[in-house]
């Protein structure tokens, strides 16, 4: 028996086909069941538990599901199991916050998810077999993973586009392209890290140099001349960040919200992540430093926050993963994106979209 736990809210639509859950509240294009708007799937776990409704053995579970007006119910997917073995290796992937584009619905074929990335209004997962699945808003094809894409080792997403780094050091990008953000420079190779901004893309090469392309209205793709010894990169909406091996941080592009006001004396930085208009840095002592836009409190670190192992900046919110596997989120909460599901633990990775949040949990036993 394969199980997931989710919550349903009013007026969204959700389709269950061959063991796959799909839904798109915006387009209204459905082959399945009108349920309720804001189909917020908070967590998938074994057992698959929807309160009140038990469809185990149903000959037509979709119809029965549609017929059930309960906001949640118990659904046993075991009869899809044989036809869709991918569910065997389902990895728990909770999301919270806005689901207006089904960006926190789990859709597509999953094997074992090893990495996640949140785009503006879509979500991306890297499977252990090197394939990629994307779901949520698909207005620009950002959820249409290129056919045959394989051997992927890293994923990145922002705005309406996606990026994938392959094991051969090349980059593939897809989705929206009004600014050339998916036009990977010909011959780009030896890439070891990728990052996506709202309309631009950046890549870190093994020689410590950075390449950027796409929208440059604020100079976000104008990599500073001579920038070298870079160990990590990140991209905000209209700016870019790099961490150098000497621990210094370089920001280029928009500084209109203070993104370039790197706190004096900041040292011991081990990781960086750009929000939409703010910057996050993780220090080796497990504390987090933020600067830039703070109109929604996205740069106000929760008092006492420590033991942090990963950070993620969303458009106007921020997230931290702690060494105990719990998640802390702060900043704008218009869609519930900072309301971490109660009891969420065992998390191994996080990422933040514009109005939603993702967490990857260890595979259920
Ligand atoms: Ca980010």
In the prediction, which pLDDT does 99 show? 61
The mean pLDDT of the chain is 75
CA of 354 to the centre of ligand 1 (A): 9
Residue 319 Cα to ligand 1 middle (Å): 10
Query: Looking at residue 244, what is its pLDDT?
Result: 97
The reported pLDDT for the residue numbered 91 is 33
Can you say whether the dihedral through the CA atoms of 327, 328, 330, 333 is positive or negative?
positive
Going from the Cα of 343 to the center of ligand 1, the distance in angstroms, rounded, reads 24
Which pLDDT value is given to residue 21?
Answer: 44
Q: Evaluate if residue 48 carries a pLDDT over 80.
A: no
User: Separation of 251 CA from ligand 1 center, angstroms?
Assistant: 14
| Ranges for all domains in the chain classified under CATH 2.130.10.30 | 91-361
> Are residues 239 and 252 in contact, defined by beta-carbon separation less than 8 angstroms?
yes
- Four-residue CA torsion sign, 333, 336, 340, 342: positive
pLDDT at 346 over 50: yes
> Around 53, how many Cα atoms within 13 Å sit in the side-chain half-sphere?
22
Q: How far is the CA of 60 from the centre of ligand 1 (A)?
A: 41
Query: Which tens digits make up the pLDDT trace of 72-99?
Result: 222 222 222 222 222 222 333 446 666 6
Kindly give the distance from the C-alpha atom of residue 33 to the centroid of ligand 1, in angstroms, as a whole number.
33
Higher model confidence: residue 356 or residue 226? 226
Position 322 confidence tier, pLDDT thresholds 50, 70, 90: very high
| Ligand 1 center to 87 CA (angstroms) | 29
**Strand pairing category for 356-361 and 20-22:** unpaired
Rounded to the nearest angstrom, the distance between the alpha carbon of 8 and the centre of ligand 1 is 27
Other Cβ atoms within 10 Å of 225 Cβ, number: 5
Q: In whole angstroms, what is the distance from residue 330 CA to residue 239 CA?
A: 21
The rounded Å distance from CA 304 to ligand 1 centre is 22
pLDDT at residue 57 in the model: 30
What's the CA-to-centroid distance between 44 and ligand 1, angstroms? 24
pLDDT mean over 242-247 = 95
The whole-angstrom separation of Cα 209 and Cα 228 is 5
User: Quick one: pLDDT at residue 158?
Assistant: 97
Cα separation, 198 vs 236, in Å, equals 7
The values of phi and psi at residue 242, to 5°, are -140, 140
pTM for the full predicted model: 0.76
Residue 113 has pLDDT above 60, yes or no: yes
**Residue 1: pLDDT band with limits 50, 70, 90:** very low
Strands 13-17 and 327-331: unpaired
Fold of 91-361: Methylamine Dehydrogenase; Chain H (2.130.10)
Q: How far is the CA of 236 from the centre of ligand 1 (A)?
A: 6
Q: What distance in angstroms lies between residue 39's CA and the mean position of ligand 1's atoms?
A: 24
Average pLDDT over residues 293-297: 97
Taking a C-beta distance cutoff of 8 angstroms, is the pair 133, 122 a contact?
A: no
CA 159–ligand 1 middle distance (angstroms):
11
Under the banding of pLDDT at 50, 70 and 90, the label for residue 100 is low
Report the percent of the chain where pLDDT is more than 90.
55
- Taking the centre of ligand 1 as the mean of its atom positions, its distance from the CA of residue 331, in whole angstroms, is 13
pLDDT higher than 70, residue 10: no
CA of 20 to the centre of ligand 1 (A): 28
pLDDT band at 178 (very low <50, low <70, confident <90, very high): very high
Half-sphere exposure at residue 192, Cβ-oriented, CA atoms within 13 angstroms: 11
Whether pLDDT at 241 is above 80: yes
Handedness of CA 124, 128, 132, 134 (dihedral sign): negative
Tell me what pLDDT residue 361 has. 74
56 CA from centroid of ligand 1 (Å): 40
* Rounded Cα distance, 98 and 354, in Å: 9
pLDDT band of residue 128 (cuts 50, 70, 90) is confident
pLDDT at residue number 265:
94
Chain position carrying tokens 């926190």:
104
Confidence of residue 235 (pLDDT cuts 50, 70, 90): very high
Strand partners, 103: none
From 22-31, 127-136, 168-177, the region with the lowest mean pLDDT: 22-31
Side-chain-facing half-sphere of 193: CA atoms under 13 Å: 19
Q: pLDDT band for 101, please (50, 70, 90 cuts).
A: low
Q: What is the 3-state secondary structure (H, E, C) of the chain?
A: CCCCECCCCCECEEEEECCEEECCCCCCCCCCEECECCCCCCECCCCCECCCCCCCCCCCHHHHHHHCCCCCCCCCCHHHHCCCHHHHHCCCCCEEECCCCCCCCCCCCCCCEEEEEECCCEEEEEECCCCEEEEECCCCCCCCCCCCCCCEEEEEEECCEEEEEECCCCEEEEECCCCCCCCCCCCCCCEEEEEECCCEEEEEECCCCEEEEECCCCCCCCCCCCCCCEEEEEECCCEEEEEECCCCEEEEECCCCCCCCCCCCCCCEEEEEECCCEEEEEECCCCEEEEECCCCCCCCCCCCCCCEEEEEECCCEEEEEECCCCEEEEECCCCCCCCCCCCCCCEEEEEECCCEEEEEECCCC
């Amino acid at each position: 028996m394969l199980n997931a736990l989710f919550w349903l809210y009013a007026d969204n639509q959700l389709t269950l086909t061959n063991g796959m859950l799909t839904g798109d509240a915006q387009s209204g294009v459905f082959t399945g069941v009108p349920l309720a708007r804001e189909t917020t799937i908070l967590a998938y776990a074994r057992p698959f538990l929807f309160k009140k409704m038990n469809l185990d053995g149903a000959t037509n579970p979709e119809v029965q599901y549609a017929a059930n007006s309960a906001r949640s119910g118990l659904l046993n997917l075991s009869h899809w199991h044989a036809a869709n073995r991918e569910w065997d290796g389902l990895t728990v992937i909770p999301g919270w916050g806005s689901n207006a584009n089904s960006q926190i619905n789990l859709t597509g074929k999953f094997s074992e998810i090893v990495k996640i990335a949140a785009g503006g209004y879509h979500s991306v997962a890297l499977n252990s077999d090197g394939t990629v699945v994307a779901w949520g808003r698909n207005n620009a094809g950002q959820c249409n993973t290129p056919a045959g894409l394989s051997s992927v080792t890293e994923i990145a997403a922002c705005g309406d586009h996606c990026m994938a780094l392959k094991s051969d050091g090349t980059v593939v990008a897809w989705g929206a392209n009004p600014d050339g953000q998916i036009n990977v420079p010909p011959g780009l190779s030896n890439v070891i890290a990728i990052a996506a901004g709202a309309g631009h893309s950046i890549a870190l090469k093994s020689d410590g140099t950075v390449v950027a392309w796409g929208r440059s209205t604020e100079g976000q793709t104008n990599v500073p001349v001579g920038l070298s010894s870079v160990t990590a990169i990140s991209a905000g909406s209209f700016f870019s960040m790099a961490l150098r091996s000497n621990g210094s941080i370089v920001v280029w592009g928009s500084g209109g919200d203070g993104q370039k006001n790197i706190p004096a004396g900041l040292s011991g930085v081990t990781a960086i992540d750009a929000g939409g208009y703010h910057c996050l840095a993780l220090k080796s002592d497990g504390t987090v430093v933020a600067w830039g836009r703070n109109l929604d409190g996205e740069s106000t670190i929760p008092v006492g926050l420590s033991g942090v192992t990963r950070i993620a900046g969303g458009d106007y919110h921020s997230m931290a993963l702690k060494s105990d596997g719990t998640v802390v989120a702060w900043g704008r909460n218009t869609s519930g994106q900072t309301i971490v599901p109660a009891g969420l633990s065992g998390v191994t990775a996080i990422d933040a979209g514009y109005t939603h949040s993702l967490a990857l949990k260890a595979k259920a036993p």
